């Protein structure tokens, strides 16, 4: 019988090169397809690149201008933060809640799961912008329903104070992919754990908080980080529905980038703005990662 | 087994390498070659691929070798089909030439064009919107100067003075205008009748307000007209031209108006909102980026007048199930300049790096001057800017009456042209912002005037 | 009937009601699109009822014909041609790379993983021009290679991160006992990790399929021949207001283009249904 220590040593396929072989495809891909665009956009941010003309170096001008002389920058940044605070928790909570329900063995559950994933497939469909306007206009469906409850109509997308939230609804409504990930995660929880809990006489709530939730934390973490990154970069929703209005209340950072790059032909400036966004996202992601040992449980013991 | 792993990795690498090698076809040398070569790399059976690599500017009509040109435009089905048919007709007559269309929607055309220009992969013949020409020219427009092609293209039917307003200047012309668009009022006949409003060609701004109040007095849920975001901008620009005969910004990027002028305009906007002539901004802003054919309030007859460009009439008419007609845009009797916006619908240009400039020129000549082509293309690009073409279509009754009427009405009051600085997208975005603030009643016209002027001056200075 | 059974039945009943009501909200847009494929332009924009006042035929047949040069049959085929290889290669490469990150230790691992994440954080608008130039240099423009080849190299880093999370949820003891029994790391991957990660792997395939299927911005930039248009481009091809848009055709084709992703999702459900047991594995 070999001692446990020796086993561990030989079982650890570590600090060797096997890992490198497996990630080799990514390394090649990164060097060929991603490094150049990365560096290029960084270089652009210090120039006045405008797509058509040859560029000239402007040093830190773009960065300075962004923070001091761009009338919409801070508005856009704050709208984006607000949006992240609405969309990310909203999406996560809905996705988790629905995933748990859909994890039950109900009849037609396949059909229901497809229905709940449907909005994510509809994605940026042409019909969505038309439909959203319909639902939330003064005589739209939502107001008609409210009328039946005796509430006066609201300008969901016309009122600068409400437009951001309404647009957030569109994104939350597309919680499908987060939900699917939770479903996959729920399925990964070994049934023995539940059986053991039942034997011990644990109630549903205890089971949820002591077994389900902790086992799901890697996925919760993943969804949190990915949704946050995507929310910061969000471009489709404002572009499709409000084009940034009313009164720039939905002028998200992603939209500002797009306009600067392709409408105003200020690609250098847009590159600088994206690098700032990149840094912001990186900071928050790093925060999330730093916090994860405190609340995320991995089967491999957190050993990464 | 480590061996399994090694085998797998080698297979994987071989697979990948083979994909990469087939993709990096040695035919492609540099990024400067137009699309044809990359097409041969992806294995299409393009007969042109093999033969056209080394030519300089092709003397197309004299050689018998097959060539393929690319032509890009935006539009919907009718324009796509008509253009494809015209291209086919040309190929019938010139069997060695094939023209491939790259067509799609307008919304993303500009972005795509910019990317193509950056990568030097733009098509041989390109459609260019008049709003982009200034920036393109300023940045070294990579399009052939039309003035140099007068021997290859018959331009006698074109009013080159009109063309150069938006397309260049005395020395350079970016392309030839395909059509003429004019601004005017499109209205719901029944609606105006119901509210006792007289449509005629002598409206001024006070008439608008009076009639707006008339509508509101009879039905507070209805409004006289609706302005989309784009149109508010035109309203401001047109009123300014009527007040002082100037564009928003002068050619040297200084302001083209005084504080008094702009306060007048902003005050008028506020009056439009306060009198209910236009719907409250909270309600209306939802549809400010689509045209009347997608606005339920127009379709359900909640407002009667939609100020628009003549090019949009066919689409709106198709969706409206009530009778439509047009009348002239308001021009005050004491206007310094009548101010109505008349513009080319699009320019057809030849890409400077095209290898078939001569054939492209020949095709363009055919496109605009050949009678059969004209009859196929009809008015899919607006009322033709080419006089001869227009006459032919009018004779054959192929131009819808309202479109022709609006264009002629606008021509009777055509204002001075927009200049590059006034068409700058950042300038327009700034103006739109202030219009919204006024419309949402968040700011008084005087305050708005002062702040707007300050910000515009600062912005214009950076754009010089 | 025991109290417990009644309670259970009640819970099931309530769940159904809740799911159905909320489900209507989820499915309403699809229903609206479907009814819009039979409506006139006017009605599509002026009323939100699900029943057309006047039924307009020809949405599907006319829409399928497209602008006359190519039918939607071609656009469907193109989209499959672009999406299927991409999905297949994404699954394989992402799995390999994720396995590497999740189960091995090597120098600079944390830094490299940070790079994986970093590539997700830069907004795409600004990298699109350099990437375009890159693909132009390779001669891959106007083809599907800009999508397929990067997929072989796990460039879609979302999936690497995702699979890492799932793999880390599998107890390392399983790996170790298999290793003792003489399995190579690759065999561990195929015989232990993959079976336990099936739901996640299927999710990778589903997501990549749906996202590539719906991708608009990238095909817009890389594809210029109409002959090679994917569905996302074809659907927007006729949306120009200076011409007459035939909306019921656009709606009809939009509805049809939803069918493959929906079917894919519906029929891969069983991979989520299968339970996963981690004991009783013969190493």
C188-203: average pLDDT: 88
Half-sphere exposure of B256 (CA within 13 A, CB side): 25
Show which subunits contact B, needing at least 3 CB pairs below 8 angstroms: A, C
Could you tell me which chain C residue has the CA closest to the CA of B319? C42
The mean per-residue pLDDT over the stretch A15-24 comes to 82
What's the whole-model pTM score?
0.85
Mean of pLDDT over chain A: 87
- Residues from chain A that touch C238, judged by Cβ atoms under 8 A, are none
Quote the DSSP letter at residue A30.
I
DSSP letter string, chain A = ---HHHHHHHH---SSSHHHHHHHHHHHHIIIIIHHHHHHHHHHTTB---SSSPP-B-TTHHHHHHHHT-TTHHHHHHHHHHHHHHHHHHHHHHHHHHHHHHTS--TTHHHHHHHHHHHHHHTT-HHHHHHHHHHHSTTSHHHHHHHHTTPPP--TTTSTTTHHHHHHHHHHHTTHHHHHHHHHHHHTS-HHHHHHHHHTT--HHHHIIIIIHHHHHHHHHHHHHHHHHHHHH--HHHHHHTTT-STTTT--HHHHHHIIIIIS--HHHHHHHHHHHHHHHHHHHHHHHHHHHHH---TTTT--
- Chain C nearest CA to A244, separation (Å): 17
Structure confidence at residue C283 (pLDDT): 29
3-state secondary structure of B326: strand
Q: Complex ipTM, two decimals?
A: 0.86
Q: Given an 8 Å threshold on Cβ–Cβ distance, is C242 in contact with B295?
A: no
Q: What residues 238-257 of chain A have any CB closer than 8 A to a CB of chain C?
A: 254, 257
CB interface of B with A, residues 102-161, below 8 Å? 110-111, 114-115, 117-118, 135-136, 139-140, 142
Q: Which two tokens stand for residue C47?
A: 């009323």
Closest approach of C72 to chain A, Cα-based (Å) = 17
Q: Say if CB C164 and CB C98 are below 8 A apart.
A: yes
H or E, element range at C34: helix C3-36
Please tell me the distance from the alpha carbon of residue A261 to that of residue B280, in angstroms, as a whole number.
Answer: 33
Q: Parallel, antiparallel, or unpaired for β B176-177 and B67-74?
A: unpaired
CB-based contacts of B393, cutoff 8 Å, min separation 6: B374, B375, B378, B379, B383, B384, B399
Query: Do C67 and B102 make contact, defined as CB atoms within 8 angstroms?
Result: no
Task: Please give the angle made by the CA atoms of A282, A297 and A188, to the nearest 5 degrees.
Answer: 105
Task: Give yes or no for C200 touching A (CB within 8 A).
Answer: yes
Binary contact (A246, B16; C-beta < 8 A):
no
Residue A225 reports pLDDT greater than 90: yes
Asked if the Cβ–Cβ distance from B119 to C136 is below 8 Å, we say yes
Note the pLDDT of residue A76.
96
A93 touches chain C (CB under 8 A): no
Q: Does the pLDDT value for residue A174 go beyond 60? A: yes
Please name the member of C104, C126, C162 whose beta carbon is closest to the beta carbon of A14.
C104
Reference B287, options C46, C247, A162; nearest CA is C46
Reference A175, options A84, A112, A98; nearest CA is A98
* pLDDT value of position A122: 87
Please say whether the beta carbons of B103 and B83 come within 8 A. Answer: yes
Per-residue pLDDT band at C127 (split at 50, 70, 90): confident
CB distance A71–B289 less than 8 Å?
no
- Note which residues in 150-209 of chain A have CB less than 8 A from chain C: 173, 177, 180-181, 183-185, 187-192
Query: Looking at residue B63, what is its pLDDT?
Result: 56
C249 class by beta-carbon count within 10 Å (0-12 exposed, 13-18 middle, 19+ buried): buried
Instruction: Tell me the sheet residues that pair with B103.
Output: B73
Candidates B270, B296, B29, B299; CA nearest to B188 is: B299
How far is residue C119's CA from residue B351's CA, in Å, rounded to a whole number? 35
Nearest to B100 among C225, C238, C242 (CB): C225
Beta strand pairing call for B342-344 and B67-74:
unpaired
pLDDT computed for residue A15 by the predictor? 54
pLDDT digits (tens, 9 = 90+) for C37-52: 999 888 888 887 888 8
Cis status of the peptide bond prior to B192, with omega within 30 of 0: no
Q: Do C235 and A119 touch (CB under 8 A)?
A: no
Contact B184, B410 (CB under 8 A): yes
Measure the CA–CA gap between B440 and B282, rounded to whole angstroms: 7
Chain B interface includes C149 (CB < 8 A): yes
pLDDT at B70: 95
A50 — pLDDT class (breaks 50, 70, 90): confident
What chain B residue is nearest to A260 in terms of C-alpha separation? B426
- pLDDT range class, residue C147, cuts 50, 70, 90: very high
Round to whole Å and give the CA distance between B452 and B259: 10
Q: Is-contact C122 C112, C-beta < 8 A?
A: no
**What whole-number distance in Å separates Cα of residue C184 and Cα of residue C192?**
11
Which residues are registered as beta bridge partners of B71?
A: B101, B125
Mutation for testing the C interface, residue in A7, A11, A18, A23 having most C CBs under 10 Å: A23
The residues that bridge with B69 in the sheet, in sequence order, are: B99
Class of domain C67-237: mainly alpha
Q: What span, in angstroms and rounded, lies between the C-alpha atoms of C252 and C61? A: 9
Distance in angstroms (rounded) separating the CA atoms of residues B182 and B409: 8
CA distance B67 to chain C (A): 16
Which is more confident, C32 or A188? C32
Q: What is the pLDDT of residue A126?
A: 78
Given an 8 Å threshold on Cβ–Cβ distance, is C44 in contact with A130? Answer: yes
Residues 4-33 of B with CB under 8 A from C: 4-5, 8, 15-16, 19-20, 23-25, 27-28, 30-31
Per-domain residue ranges of chain C: 3-62, 67-237
User: Cα-flanking dihedrals φ and ψ of residue B340, to 5°?
Assistant: -65, 140
* Cβ pair B31, B16 in contact under 8 A: no
Length of chain B counted residue by residue: 464
State which residue of chain C sits closest to B379, comparing Cα positions: C243
Contacts of A181 in chain C (CB under 8 A): 162, 203
Name the minimum distance, in Å, from the CA of A284 to any CA of chain C. 11
For A89-139, what is each residue's pLDDT tens digit? 999 999 999 998 888 777 788 888 889 999 999 877 878 888 888 889 888
Return d(Cα C85, Cα C89) in angstroms, integer: 6
- Token digits of residue C177: 């006992």
In sequence order, which ranges of B94-188 are alpha helices (DSSP H)?
A: 109-118, 130-138, 160-167
- pLDDT value, residue C183: 86
Distance of CA A32 to the CA centre of its chain: 26
Q: Please, what are the domains in chain B?
A: 61-178+345-369 (3.40.190.10), 181-343+414-463 (3.40.190.10)
Q: Is C57 on the interface with A (CB under 8 A)?
A: no
pLDDT tens for chain B, residues 1 to 464: 455 555 555 555 655 555 554 444 433 333 333 333 333 333 333 333 333 333 334 444 455 688 999 999 998 888 999 999 999 999 999 999 999 999 988 888 998 998 899 888 999 999 999 989 888 888 888 999 999 998 889 988 888 888 888 888 889 999 999 999 999 999 999 999 999 999 999 999 999 999 999 999 999 999 999 999 999 999 999 999 999 999 999 999 999 999 999 999 999 999 999 999 999 999 989 899 989 999 999 999 999 999 999 989 988 998 898 999 999 999 999 999 999 999 998 999 999 999 999 999 999 999 999 999 999 998 888 899 888 898 899 888 888 889 999 998 998 998 888 888 999 999 999 999 999 999 999 999 999 999 999 999 999 998 87
- For chain A, which domains are there? 1-34 (no CATH), 63-295 (1.10.3720.10)
Given this model, what pLDDT does residue C246 score?
A: 86
- A→B contacts (Cβ < 8 Å), by residue, are 21, 24-25, 50-53, 69, 71, 130, 133-134, 136-139, 155, 157-160, 243, 245-248, 259, 262-265
Mean pLDDT score, C172-186: 87
d(CA A198, CA C138): 60
- β-pair partners for B360: none
User: Which of these ranges, B36-40, C21-25, C233-237, has the smallest mean pLDDT?
Assistant: B36-40
* Closest partner CB to A248 (pick from B12, B16, B433): B433
Neighboring chain A residues of B229 at a CB cutoff of 8 Å: 245
Which residues, numbered 234 to 273 in chain C, qualify as contacts with chain A under a Cβ-Cβ cut-off of 8 Å?
A: 235-236, 239, 250-251, 254, 258, 261-262, 265-266, 269, 272-273
Q: Using an 8 Å Cβ cutoff, are B361 and B152 in contact?
A: yes
CA dist., res. A249 & res. A159, Å (int):
9
CB contact under 8 A, B117 and A52: yes
- Closest among C180, C206, C146 to C283, alpha carbons compared: C180
pLDDT band at C11 (very low <50, low <70, confident <90, very high): confident
Residue given tokens 């933060």 in the structure block: A81
């Amino acid at each position: 019988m070999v001692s446990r220590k020796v086993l561990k040593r030989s079982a650890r396929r570590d600090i060797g090169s096997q890992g490198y072989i497996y990630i080799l495809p990514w390394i090649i891909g990164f060097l060929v397809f991603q490094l150049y665009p990365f560096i290029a956009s960084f270089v652009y941010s210090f120039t006045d690149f405008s797509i058509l003309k040859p560029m000239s170096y402007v040093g830190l001008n773009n960065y300075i201008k962004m923070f001091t002389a761009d009338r919409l920058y801070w508005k856009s940044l704050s709208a984006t933060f607000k949006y992240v605070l609405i969309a990310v928790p909203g999406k996560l909570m809905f996705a988790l809640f629905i995933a748990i329900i859909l994890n039950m063995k109900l009849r037609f559950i396949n059909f229901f799961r497809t229905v709940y994933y449907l909005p994510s497939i509809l994605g940026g469909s042409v019909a969505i912008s038309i439909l959203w306007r319909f639902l939330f206009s003064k005589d739209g469906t939502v107001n008609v329903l409210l009328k039946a409850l005796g509430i006066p109509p609201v300008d969901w997308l016309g009122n600068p104070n409400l437009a951001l939230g309404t647009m957030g609804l569109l994104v939350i409504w597309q919680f499908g992919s987060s939900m699917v990930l939770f479903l996959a995660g729920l399925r990964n929880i070994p049934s023995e754990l539940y059986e053991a809990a039942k034997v011990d006489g644990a109630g549903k709530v205890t089971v949820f908080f002591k077994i389900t939730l902790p086992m799901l934390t890697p996925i919760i973490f993943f969804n949190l980080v990915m949704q946050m990154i995507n929310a910061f970069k969000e471009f489709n929703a404002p572009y499709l529905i409000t084009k940034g209005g009313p009164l720039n209340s939905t002028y998200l950072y992603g939209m500002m980038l797009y306009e600067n790059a392709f409408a105003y032909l200020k690609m250098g400036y847009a590159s600088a703005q994206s690098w700032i966004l990149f840094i912001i996202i990186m900071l928050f992601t790093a925060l999330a990662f730093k916090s994860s040992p405190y609340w995320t449980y991995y089967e491999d013991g957190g050993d990464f | 087994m480590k061996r399994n792993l090694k085998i797998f990795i080698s297979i994987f690498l071989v697979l990948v390498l083979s994909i990469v090698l087939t993709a990096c076809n040695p035919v492609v040398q540099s990024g400067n070659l137009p699309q044809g070569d990359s097409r041969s790399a992806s294995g299409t059976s393009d007969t042109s691929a093999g033969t056209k690599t080394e030519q300089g500017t092709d003397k197309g009509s004299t050689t018998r070798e097959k060539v393929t040109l690319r032509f890009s435009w935006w539009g919907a089905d009718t324009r796509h089909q008509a253009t494809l048919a015209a291209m086919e007709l040309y190929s019938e007559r010139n069997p060695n030439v094939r023209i491939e269309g790259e067509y799609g929607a307008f919304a993303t055309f500009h972005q795509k064009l910019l990317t193509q220009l950056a990568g030097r992969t733009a098509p041989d013949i390109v459609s260019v919107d008049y709003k982009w020409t200034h920036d393109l020219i300023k940045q070294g427009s990579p399009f052939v100067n039309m003035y140099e092609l007068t021997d290859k293209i018959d331009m006698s039917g074109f009013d080159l003075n009109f063309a150069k307003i938006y397309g260049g200047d005395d020395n350079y012309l970016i392309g030839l205008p395909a059509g003429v668009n004019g601004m005017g009022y499109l209205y719901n006949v029944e609606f105006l009748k119901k509210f006792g409003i007289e449509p005629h060609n002598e409206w001024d701004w006070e008439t608008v307000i009076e009639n707006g109040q008339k509508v509101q007095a009879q039905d507070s849920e209805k409004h006289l007209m609706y302005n989309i975001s784009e149109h508010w901008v035109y309203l401001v620009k047109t009123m300014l031209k009527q007040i002082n005969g100037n564009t928003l910004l002068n050619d040297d990027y200084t302001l083209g108006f005084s504080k008094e002028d702009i306060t007048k305009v902003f005050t008028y906007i506020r009056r439009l909102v306060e009198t209910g002539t236009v719907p409250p901004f909270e309600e209306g802003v939802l549809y400010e980026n689509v045209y009347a054919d997608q606005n339920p309030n127009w379709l359900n007859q909640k407002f009667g007048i939609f100020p628009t460009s003549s090019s949009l009439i066919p689409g709106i008419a198709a969706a409206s199930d009530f009778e439509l007609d047009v009348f002239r845009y308001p021009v005050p009797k004491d206007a310094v300049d009548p101010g109505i916006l008349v513009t080319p619908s699009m320019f057809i240009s030849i890409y400077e790096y095209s290898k078939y400039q001569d054939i492209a020129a020949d095709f363009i000549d055919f496109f605009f001057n050949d009678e059969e082509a004209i009859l196929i293309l009809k008015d899919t690009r607006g009322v033709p800017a080419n006089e001869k073409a227009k006459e032919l279509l009018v004779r054959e009754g192929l131009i819808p009456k309202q479109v022709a009427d609006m264009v002629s009405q606008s021509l009777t009051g055509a204002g001075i042209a927009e200049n590059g600085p006034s068409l700058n997208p950042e300038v327009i975005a700034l103006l739109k912002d202030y219009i919204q603030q006024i419309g949402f009643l968040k700011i008084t016209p005087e305050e708005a005037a002062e702040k707007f002027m300050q910000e515009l001056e600062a912005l214009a200075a950076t754009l010089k | 009937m025991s109290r417990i059974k009644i309670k259970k039945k009640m819970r099931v009943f309530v769940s159904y009601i809740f799911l159905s009501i909320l489900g209507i909200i989820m499915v309403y847009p699809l229903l609206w699109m479907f009814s819009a494929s039979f409506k006139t332009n006017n009605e599509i924009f002026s009323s939100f009822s699900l029943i057309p006042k006047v039924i307009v035929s020809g949405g599907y047949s006319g829409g399928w014909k497209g602008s006359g040069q190519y039918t939607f049959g071609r656009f469907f085929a193109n989209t499959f041609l672009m999406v299927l290889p991409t999905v297949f290669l994404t699954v394989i490469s992402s799995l390999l790379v994720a396995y590497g990150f999740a189960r091995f230790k090597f120098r600079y691992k944390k830094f490299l993983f940070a790079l994986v994440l970093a590539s997700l954080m830069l907004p795409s608008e600004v990298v699109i021009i350099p990437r375009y130039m890159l693909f132009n240099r390779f001669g891959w423009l106007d083809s599907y290679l800009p999508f397929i080849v990067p997929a072989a190299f796990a460039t879609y880093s979302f999936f690497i991160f995702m699979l890492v999370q799932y793999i880390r949820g599998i107890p390392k003891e399983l790996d170790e006992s298999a290793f003792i029994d003489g399995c190579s790391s690759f065999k561990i991957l195929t015989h232990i990790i993959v079976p336990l990660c099936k739901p996640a792997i299927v999710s990778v395939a589903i997501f990549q399929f749906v996202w590539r299927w719906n991708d608009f911005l990238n095909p817009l930039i890389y594809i210029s021949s109409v002959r090679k248009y994917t569905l996302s481009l074809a659907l927007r091809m006729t949306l120009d207001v200076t011409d007459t848009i035939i909306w019921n055709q656009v709606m009809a084709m939009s509805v049809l283009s939803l069918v493959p992703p929906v079917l894919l999702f519906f029929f891969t459900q069983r991979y989520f249904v299968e339970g996963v047991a981690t004991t009783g594995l013969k190493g």
